[in-house]
Amino acid sequence: MGFAVKLQEDFPVIQILSPEGKVTDPDLVPPLSDEQLRQLMKNMVFTRVLDQRAISLNRQGRLGFYAPVSGQEASMLASQFALEKDDFILPSYRDIPQMIFHGFPLYQAFLFSKGHIHGGQIPDGVHVLPPQIIIAAQVTQCVGVASAFKLRKEKRVAICYFGDGATSQGDFYEGLNFAGVYKVPAIFFCQNNGYAISVPFGKQTASATIAQKSVAAGIHGVRVDGMDPLAVYAVTKEALDRARAGEGPTLIEALTYRFGPHTMAGDDPTRYRTKEEMTLWQEERDPIVRFRIYLKERGIWSEQDEQEAVEQAKEEIAAAMKKAESYPPMTIPELMEAMYVKMPENLAEQAAFLRKEES
Amino acid sequence: MANLTMIQAINDALRTALKTYPEVLVFGEDVGVNGGVFRATDGLQKEFGEERVYDTPLAESAIIGSAVGLAIMGFRPVAEIQFSGFYFEAFDALLSQAARIRFRSGGRYHCPMVVRSPFGGGVRTPELHADSVEGYFLHAPGLKVVIPSNPYEAKGLLLSAIEEEDPVIFLEHMKLYRSFRQEVPEGYYTIPLGKANIAREGADVTVVAYGAMVQAALKAAEELEQERQARIEVIDLRTISPIDTETIIQSVQKTNRAVIVHEAPKTGGPAAEIIARINERAILHLEAPVMRVTGYDTVYPFTMIEDQWLPTSDRIKQAIIDVLDF
């Protein structure tokens, strides 16, 4: 016997829909209309098609940087579905689908992938930041955005997304801790897909869960089945309601899985994951499969609906890609103009020199 | 007008900014009730409330990271880093986030924030308090760097920094905080960023300095006037990024000789950049190589040897004599 005290905090995994599409906890089923349920399914199907298409376009060299999302549709889209349009998303580089369904045009997401400045020019009225490359930098920024809402007494919430690896960063803890002290309306949404590139969760932390890291910041924490759209929606909605009521931030840990590689830059997940594990998640826990069963049993989704959703997604994706490919290429003067509100003299000189060289 | 020390002038600037702009927020470690470890924010929380002037947990990265979030949402944060050596904790938030947000969003978002910090040698601080960090920020596109050398300019430059739409690093030399008083106008006034000040006119050698080194350069210049009738022009750079190239070049074209002075280590420091610009634009005007008087290429030293380490007016004087006699 030593002096160590065992952590008593309990973080059970919230689940509403089993992998077989059965409701496991009727009391928790969120009050979504049939039309809302169908829309969420369409968003998830769209994202699955987008992922397959983006991987293919990347292999053809028509897209650049891309981080696959298949498997994470429930975690990404059911959480986004719970947001209001005025809520603010701070995404990581994998969280393109949430941005799109929050109003960010798809062709601009393709330009982001291709490395074009217009890919970061979020339209007015769309409340998202460009995808964050520095792991967990968005966590501390989320505190600032949420503080702005609190100071202005707006009923808006800031939500940031990150993976399990990000929870090892100092910025993750610092952000949670600030949010707790200031009690800001923020949601810290961790998509725990079990791996940070090749490094499994057990090598990020000896902690049993990510949700329990909320204890260190004194904030609310919850663990959810990230392959279950109803559960993800319900816990996110609850966190939003709490934030809007002035009750402070929440850390959500969604247990999910990415079916594909970490990014399209040569990662080979078979080097660090077993075939059995990949099969288990892909064939038995796919969020689209369980949601499809649930919707079909309610009589609000059919094979034909799905086929139509797939076709519509393909058309939208093709049109967006066409628009992205016909968009004028980025130029160095655009880069220079974007650096400062008022361009300093040294840069103005370099811009003038460039113009002279080009003429 | 009031006769103020530099720290009082900074306090006055912050008070004036808080009064003028409802979107100005002042925060950092111990800036609230305590009024700052140097009293820079003394009385501000009492006057403007805890929503405008507040203490933060002890974490530099989140201080700057949250400032970025506030700035892109339309606030004007004036964050404080308690000592310059603690900037390193926040380098990602500054260089990779604040400095890049306008670029990476193609102008959709921008980041009007100021990060104040004391720095500078000669006051016997422990490790990582006195380091001159301006060179790191000079090399970071997207940031501006300001270093005042007296109370009057500290107030006007800080108000300009707060008006800026892009992020500004505002470095305050600790040795100058209370070393002398100056008449400082009441109310709102600004001194433009990016413009150097000719602190002393001369025709024989141009000395470029900033922060506490301006006083050292002025002392060297006065002594040389007495001893050799040499007329030394001292330029107080005031803004380290962007550098006021025009003022430096015009001066060098007149004097044909130059010495650049800073406390920061020599290699890759601001002087190297200034000399490169003189070479690019005024080489045919030079009668001697441009010399540097700087800190050594070591880490900032322990207190027992800092007076030997820091550039002195004697070292500056010798460099001026070297270029005069070249």
Q: What pLDDT, in 10s, does the model give residues B107-163?
A: 999 999 999 999 999 999 999 999 999 999 999 999 999 999 999 999 999 999 999
**B59 inside 8 A of chain A by CB:** yes
> Is the per-residue pLDDT at B189 higher than 80?
yes
- When pLDDT is cut at 50, 70 and 90, the band that residue A358 belongs to is confident
Q: State the catalytic residue, choosing from A272, A298, A340, A355.
A: A272
Active site residue B129: yes
Closest residue in A to B71 (Cα) is A144
Please tell me if residue A341 touches chain B, with a CB cutoff of 8 Å: yes
Q: Hey, which bits of A184-291 come out as E strands?
A: 186-192, 195-196, 199-200, 220-225, 250-255
- pLDDT of A36 strictly over 90: yes
Inter-chain contacts counted by CB atoms under 8 A, chains A and B:
135
CB contact under 8 A, A338 and B74: no
From the CB of residue A215, how many other CB atoms can be counted at a distance below 10 Å?
A: 15
User: Between chains, do B66 and A147 touch, taking CB under 8 Å as contact?
Assistant: yes
Q: What is the mean pLDDT of residues B226-235?
A: 97
Name the more confident of A347 and A9: A347
Pick from A86, A88, A134, A140 the residue to mutate for testing the B interface (most B CBs within 10 Å).
Answer: A140
From chain B, pick out residues whose CB is under 8 angstroms from the CB of A124.
108
Instruction: Answer yes or no: CATH 3.30.1490.20 is held by domain B197-325.
Output: no
Answer yes or no: is pLDDT of A6 > 60.
no
Angle at B85 between CA B82 and CA B86, to 5 degrees: 55
Is there a catalytic annotation at residue A258? yes
The dihedral region occupied by A319, where left means phi > 0, alpha psi between -120 and 50, and beta the remainder, is: alpha
As for the ipTM of the complex, it is 0.97
Exposed/middle/buried for residue B39 (C-beta within 10 Å: 0-12, 13-18, 19+): middle
The nearest alpha carbon in chain A to B91 belongs to A137
d(CA B183, CA B2): 5
Q: Per-residue pLDDT tens for A69-111?
A: 999 999 999 999 999 999 999 999 999 999 999 999 999 999 9
Enumerate the domain spans of chain B. Answer: 2-184, 197-325
Render pLDDT for A190-247 as a digit per residue (tens, 0 to 9).
999 999 999 999 999 999 999 999 999 999 999 999 999 999 999 999 999 999 999 9
pLDDT value, residue A10: 77
Question: Between B68, B141, B142, which is nearest A144 by CB?
Answer: B68
Cα gap A162→B136, rounded to integer Å? 29
With CB atoms and an 8 Å threshold, state whether B62 touches A129.
no
Q: Which residue has the higher pLDDT, A7 or B290?
A: B290
Checking phi first, is residue A300 left (phi over 0); if not, alpha (psi -120 to 50) or beta? alpha
Interface of B with A in 199-258 (CB under 8 A): 241-246
Tell whether B144 lies on the interface with A, counting CB pairs under 8 A: yes
Q: State residue A359's pLDDT score.
A: 83
* B73 chain-A contacts, CB cut-off 8 A: 144-145, 148-149
A334 neighbourhood in chain B, CB within 8 Å: 106
Query: With bands split at pLDDT 50, 70 and 90, how would you rate the model's confidence at B190?
Result: very high
Contacts of A134 in chain B (CB under 8 A): 92, 96-97
Answering whether pTM is above 0.95, one says yes
Residues in chain A within 8 Å Cβ distance of B104: 120, 130
Separation CA B155–CA A308 (nearest Å) = 65
Residue B115 and residue B94 in contact, taking contact as beta carbons nearer than 8 Å: yes
Q: Which residue do the tokens 């002290």 mark?
A: A181
pLDDT of residue A7: 56
CB-CB neighbors (< 8 A) of B77 in chain A: 144
CA distance readout (Å), A203 to A17, A194, A226: 30, 10, 21
Q: Enumerate the H helices of chain B as residue ranges.
A: 6-20, 44-48, 60-72, 91, 101-104, 134-138, 151-163, 213-228, 245-255, 270-282, 306-309, 313-324
Q: Is the dihedral of CA B296, B301, B305, B311 positive or negative?
A: positive
Q: From the candidates A48, A94, A258, A292, which is the catalytic residue? A: A258
Look up residue A27 and give its two tokens: 């009391």
Domains and CATH numbers, chain A: 13-328 (3.40.50.970), 330-358 (no CATH)
SS3 (DSSP) at A235: helix
The architecture of the domain spanning B2-184 is: 3-Layer(aba) Sandwich (3.40)
**pLDDT value at A5 more than 60:** no
Q: Fold match between B2-184 and B197-325?
A: yes
- The answer to whether residue B92 scores a pLDDT higher than 90 is yes
What residue in B sits closest to A142 (Cα-Cα)?
A: B69
Distance between CA atoms of residues B262 and B23, nearest Å: 35
- Whether the pLDDT of residue B311 is over 50: the answer is yes
Q: Does B46 touch chain A (CB under 8 A)?
A: no
Nearest-angstrom CA–CA distance, A86 and B144: 32
